[in-house]
Amino acid sequence: MRAYYFDNLSGDQRLPHDCVPSRPVDPETLKSIKVEAWTIPVTPGYEEELDAVAKERNYRNRDVIEISKEGLGDEYEQKLKGFYKEHIHEDEEIRYILEGGGFFDVRQAPSDEWIRLAVSAGDLLVIPAGIYHRFTVDERNLTRTTRLFKDEPKWSAIYRGPESDANPHRIDYLKSIAAAA
C-alpha cells in the first residue's frame, strides 16, 4: 500500500491523483488517525493469517465482493458513485484485497485533507468507525475484496452532513484521535 496526499484536482477518480511533487504520508501519520494497514501476500496459506486477524479483532463473518463492470453489470457506475461519496460507518471497515486494486481516501483530522491509500492484492486495511472516507477502483476497473464483519455482513454508509457530524461514532472517533495526539 502506498499513502500520499490527494491532489484535489478534478478528473477521473480512478487516476492516482498524486501531488506534483508527491507528498507521501508516513505510517506515523496514519497511526495518528487510527488507520491500520499491512500486507498478507495472496499466496497459499493467506487464509490462516486472515483468520488470525479476524479472531484477534472479533470478526465472525466475511464475504467476498467483486467491484467490476462484469460483476456488477449496469449497476457498476452507480455503485462506484455511492462508494466514492464521502461517508462514515458505525463499525470499522476492514478490507483485504484479493485481486485488482483501488483507492481508499481518508480525511485527516483536523486538517480535513484527503489522504489517498493506493491498495492492491495482498493489502489489508482497517479504517476506523467515524472517519470520513470514500473508495474507488483504479484504472483496471476491478477490485475483488474480502470484507470482514463483527456481525452480519452489511454496508451502511452515513453520508457527510449534519447527521454524520453529530453521529456518536464520529464524535468518539474525534475524541480518540485528540487523546492520541
- Binding site per annotation, positions: 87, 89, 93, 133
Give Cα separations from 23 to 4, 113, 178 (angstroms): 6, 12, 23
Give yes or no for a contact between 125 and 26, defined as CB atoms under 8 angstroms apart: no
d(CA 75, CA 92): 25
User: Residues annotated as binding site for Fe(2+)?
Assistant: 87, 89, 93, 133
Give yes or no for a contact between 156 and 164, defined as CB atoms under 8 angstroms apart: no
User: Residues annotated as binding site for Ni(2+)?
Assistant: 87, 89, 93, 133
